[in-house]
């Protein structure tokens, strides 16, 4: 299929929008630059939990003593033995 400019020109001849040139634009002082620049990367979101939803069930478990709430690097019992 061959595309030519003529069918597009006929289809869109009544829909031409005039865009002003830079010289035609006037500074009115209303348009301001954004207050903060957008940060790089994916935005972080905080999810609101539902009414019946509980917190996270998984917790840290120490590989040395087996207790929850810390890991082997921060375990006081494992450091005493070394």
Residue 4 lies in a domain: no
Residue 12 lies in a domain: no
- Of 13-17, 42-46, 53-57, 58-62, the range with the lowest mean pLDDT is 53-57
Residue 69 lies in a domain: yes
Residue 42 lies in a domain: no
Residue 28 lies in a domain: no
Q: What is the pLDDT of residues 69-81, one digit of tens each?
A: 888 888 888 876 5
Sign of CA dihedral 46, 51, 53, 56: positive
């Amino acid at each position: 299929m061959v595309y030519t400019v003529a069918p597009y020109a006929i289809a869109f001849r009544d829909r031409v929008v005039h865009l002003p040139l830079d010289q035609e634009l006037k500074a009115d002082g209303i348009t301001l630059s954004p207050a903060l620049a957008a940060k790089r990367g994916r935005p972080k979101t905080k999810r609101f939990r539902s009414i019946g939803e509980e917190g996270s069930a998984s917790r840290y478990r120490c590989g040395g003593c087996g207790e929850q709430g810390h890991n082997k690097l921060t375990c006081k019992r494992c450091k005493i033995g070394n």
